[in-house]
Each structure stands twice: as C-alpha cells, then as structure tokens.
Structure 1
C-alpha cells in the first residue's frame, strides 16, 4: 500500500477498533489510560474491551453519552464455566454499564461433539444481555479444524449471536485470515445481520488491511462498519496513530 492507501486503512480501522486491555494484572490506573487513549486526536475508537471488574469505572470515566462502547468478557478465557455463573457475570456486567458482552463459547465441549452446549449457552446469555450486544468468541486457534470453525459459527449465529469473534488472545494461535474467511462465509450464508470481530495478534495497519479486504470481498464494500465489524486489539492503535500522524510506523507484538 502507498501512504495514501495506508492512511485510508488506518482511519477506517480506528473507527472499528475495540481497544483492549485484558491483561491478568490490569489495574484501575491502566483503565484510566485506556479510556483516554480511546478518545484519540483522530477520533474515537468503536469501543474499549476490558475485564468485568472495570466496567463500572469505565462507565464513570467515559460518561453516559460517550460514543465509545464498553465491551467486556464472560466465560473468559477458558470457556469452561457453568451456564448459571456466566449468566450472573453477564447480568452484573450489563447492570454496571457494559454495551457489548464478549462470550467465550464452550469450545472444548464442541470439539468433543457436544454442539448443544454451544447452542444452550449462547441462547441463554443472549437472553441475559438485555440491551447489550452479544459477541461469541469461538477460539478458532484451538478448534483448528475448518469444519469445526464453521460449525461454531453456524451454531452461534443460529442461537442469536450479534457478532462472531475469532479469539481470546490468550492462546497460541489467535486471529488468522483462514478462520476469518470461514466465519465471514458463514455470516454471508446465514443472511442475518451478524458482525465479525477478528481479535488477537493484529498489530499493524497493514495487518488490518488484509482483514478489511477479505470482508469487502466476501460481504461487499458497503458492509464493514462499527455495527458489523470490529478489531480486537491492544497494539493496533499505536500503529494507527503513527500512520495518521505521519510518524514512522512501529511494529508491536502482542497477544491482543
């Protein structure tokens, strides 16, 4: 990409970014910094994505009328909690001010052949979300198999997910273009208004451009917008700001 094309992708990616801090040792001070960074000189990110324990703090910091959504995670990162505990987590997060719930599906159960576990959990959590939107994290790097990734996508969509998301950022393999291709095709074939969120390891504007081109190709060039596409990333904002400000583009290695 030339500089003009890179800047166009950077501007587009900024508006689609779920700026993330899901580090195990995240602190309240880091949430203050995250909320401030999400309100960049070039415009706001789509959302921040944080642990449930910080949702109320972030809501206070951003205020009730902020364009920046607050996303949080449930059944995270292992996907192995009991449904009743996930429902309690979800209800508490929504009550604290969460706009988006990012749910890890029971992907290990699916890999063992228990598709119903996915359907039951996604459906139940969707019911507990109230006004919040539900993103289901498939953990595609652990599912590995193409047919399993497609199955997880189809089950999540059928059970009411508003988005399907690749990864937690906590495993060895996170977002990949191969998984994105499978998931976007599942969305297209469903003919439902379902969004897509690649997450984990997307740290440069050039990386982001590959995913945007894939989505444009499969879904059409007018499909990608914050209501249908998000990037889950922590390091990507650094590169976006470097490109938009004309500074040298840094390369950031990060799980998220």
Structure 2
C-alpha cells in the first residue's frame, strides 16, 4: 500500500517506465499522444516503446531526454533471422535507441544455441542501440527452460532480459522475474531487467523494483538497468506521486 514515502518512490518508478503502445490499432496520432504523456509533471519517463513504423516520427516529436524503443520479431518470436536483421537495421537507421527483440522462444528447450546465435547476430546490427531480449517466459512453462533462455540471451550479448511481449496469457510474474534477476546476478549484475505486461498499479511496479533491489543490490535498478514495460500504469504512478485520488488500477499493457 502507498504510504508517506510513496510519492518519492512513484517518481522513481516513472523515471524507469517504458511507456508503451503496441496496440494493433495504434496510429501516428496515438504515438503523438504517447510522446506528450511521456513528459510528466514529475519528470520524463525513461522511454516510449512503439511499433517500428513510428520510430522516425517519435524521434522528431521527443525532446531528446526520452529514449525511443521499438520491437522486432514481435510478437511471435520466429526464427527468420534475416527478416529480423532488416527490421533492426531500419529501426536503428530511423533513430531507435533501444531494440526489444522477441527471441525464438520455441527453440529454447531443444536448441538454445540457436537463440544465442540469434541474439548475437541482432546485437551486432544494433550499433549504438541497446538490445533488450524478450524471453516470453509465460510460454516457457518451467524454471529450467526459463533459465536456459536467460543464459542463451546473456551469452549472445543481450543488454537486457525482458519477461514478456504483453501479448500472451501469462506475462510478467514475480516468479519469472526472480529467475531472470537471479541469472543476471550470476552473470555479474550489469545486464538490465524489464518486466512487462500486467503491471497495473504502483504496488505492482514497486514490487518488481524491490525484487531487483533484493536480488541484485540496492544500487542495481537505475533507469539504465531497470525498466517497467507498461502503458496505463502511468496514471496510477502520477496519482501516487502527486498525492491525488488513484484511478483504481484499471490499466493494461
């Protein structure tokens, strides 16, 4: 529950938010509205996350304080590396600061080496952009497979491990987040972490940041290493930060 320290914490969470619109009906006007929302009264969010078609537009709209993230191989995580390379190169050329790649998660159980090679190939095409790898943990089903996905992505050079696309039945959960953070800690604690999907309230967001602090250390979840993938949670964070009436946790991804 929110308490006297919550407004400060809500402000910290806003600064770590990847404000997202990956709706199938997203249009340029929606991206313009997202860019406007991203500059909040309590400071800017960390990034907006949008479809590749809107990267160049968003780059022009934003002040430069807010990063532009986009998705590739999304949402199904196929195995066509050449197509994903083309998507990545175009996004980087258009001005993307961060690439959120859905790995070929269906291959993890039988061929984790494919995923490692896929990540390494896309990472090489990112240039200055950072690579977040979406593992789709809700489709990996067991701990051993989730850990294998983490290790493949880390071995391939991922800059972030991200739980989910937000497009399946089970997205971020504390259990899956714990596994990703444990693997990040084992690898030295420098790779970033991004839970995504199902983050609806201040308490949800705060819970993931506390988990990151517990597993990887209090100094770990900086905005460069910890992100929250969500859309509607911003309204609740703004209410807590400003001490105003909360909207009731009705947000979605």
Normalising by structure 1, report the TM-score: 0.96
Match of 1:3, SS state, is: coil
Report the equivalent of 1:117.
Answer: 114
8 Å CA contact 1:170–1:255 kept in 2: the answer is no
Report the equivalent of 1:234.
Answer: 231
- Aligned 1:62-77 pairs, distance under 5 A: 62-63=62-63, 66-77=64-75
- Aligned 1:162-177 pairs, distance under 5 A: 162-177=159-174
8 Å CA contact 1:200–1:254 kept in 2: the answer is no
Pairwise CA RMSD = 1.1
Distance 1:254 1:77 in 2: 20
Counterpart selection for 1:154 from 151, 155, 165: 151
Match of 2:4, SS state, is: helix
Q: CA deviation at 1:252?
A: 3.7
Report the equivalent of 2:80.
Answer: 82
Greater than 2 Å deviation, 4+ residue runs = 251-255
Report the equivalent of 2:7.
Answer: 7
Distance 1:2 1:193 in 2: 30
Counterpart selection for 2:240 from 240, 243, 246: 243
**Does residue 207 in structure 1 map to residue 175 in structure 2?**
no
Cα deviations across residues 91-150 of structure 1 (Å, max 9, x unaligned)?
000000000000000001113x11122011100000000000000000001112111111
Match of 1:238, SS state, is: helix
Q: Which runs of 5+ in 1 are unaligned?
A: none
Distance 1:255 1:239 in 2: 12
Report the equivalent of 2:28.
Answer: 28
Matched positions, count: 253
Report the equivalent of 1:91.
Answer: 89
Q: CA deviation at 1:78?
A: 0.1
Cα deviations across residues 7-46 of structure 1 (Å, max 9, x unaligned)?
1321111010000000011010000100000001110000
Report the equivalent of 1:43.
Answer: 43
Tell me whether 188-197 or 119-128 shows the greater mean CA deviation. 188-197
Tell me whether 3-12 or 29-38 shows the greater mean CA deviation. 3-12
